[in-house]
Amino acid sequence: MNTQLSPQERERLYSLIREKLDLGGAECPEEINHTTIVRELPGVDSMKLLRLLGAVELGFQVNLGFEAVVQVRTVRDIERLICASREQYAARRIPSVGGRP
């Protein structure tokens, strides 16, 4: 399973995180990266996290599921969830041999 985003997708994810968690100003002392602990970012609460994950689903065209909320600790966890969703979708799309399901 590919558990990494391309550099462009990763930057898009970081931008989405800054936007949805309102981290554009000086109150965010660190740059977002894969080791950033999402719940420790300034002002993050459960509703903002839900909105972020919903935006990730729309922006990356994936289905993370409700369990994603408890699985996300770091930004890397969000990346893994995106890649896992893509893998699940791809596995369902592979045609069967001989035309049988």
Q: Set out the domains of the chain in order of their start, with CATH numbers.
A: 7-93 (1.10.1200.10)
Q: How many helices and strands, by DSSP H and E, does the chain display?
A: 4, 0
- Tens-digit pLDDT string for the chain (101 aa): 566 899 999 999 999 999 999 887 655 556 899 999 999 998 899 899 999 999 999 999 999 988 899 999 999 999 999 999 998 887 776 665 555 55
pTM of the model: 0.82
Beta bridge partners of residue 37, listed in sequence order? 74
Cα 65 to Cα 96: distance, rounded to the nearest angstrom = 26
